[in-house]
Amino acid sequence: MSKRMFVALELPEVCRATLANLAVPIRGVRWLPVDQLHLTLAFLGEVDATVEKSLRERLAGVQVPPFYLPIKGVGTFGGSRPSVIWAGVGSGHPHLYALHKHLHDALFAAGLDPELRAFHPHVTLARAKEVSSATLRPFLREHDADDFCLLRITGFTLFSSDLGPRGARHTPEMHCEFNATART
């Protein structure tokens, strides 16, 4: 049996609430439920039980020093017909990129082939369908420079994801805490 899985940073409740408060009615935009807001570090797809055991062992060994990460600004993916509205992390976060690299090393060691596309860290806020970038422009301008929250990152979480008629349901499977003396 296999599970659809991903690795992410969980957001504190106050941060999720702040981001959820950005939701305004825009035709063609479906805002994610507050309990699904997170920052994906690696999407794994279907993971079978034998690989999952190795995956858990490898993830438990991933260590970087705890660090702070701002959630700030908004943007979209999809060009003139955006498909995703997101909150960003600003720029220049070497610990986040080190964590991403160490996670991918662990995934490869566990026998998985994670997505190799460029890492653009973000929190997905909404999905858009048949919405023009011009329609979203006022929202993007209003929140482009907003500072939403500052996270203290002390670990990450392995999630399973079940697809249903109302979207995905995410279940935390394993939380991995960093050792305070870890080095990048």
Task: Show which residues are catalytic.
Answer: 38, 122
User: 27: closest CA among 166, 139, 168?
Assistant: 139
Tokens of 119: 């890492």
H or E stretch at 97: helix 94-109
Beta bridge partners of 158: 7, 174
Q: Rounded to an integer, what distance in angstroms lies between the CA atom of residue 132 and that of residue 79?
A: 9
Q: Rounded to an integer, what distance in angstroms lies between the CA atom of residue 71 and that of residue 75?
A: 12
Q: Rounded to an integer, what distance in angstroms lies between the CA atom of residue 9 and that of residue 69?
A: 11
Q: Please give the span between the terminal C-alpha atoms of the chain, in angstroms, as a whole number.
A: 35
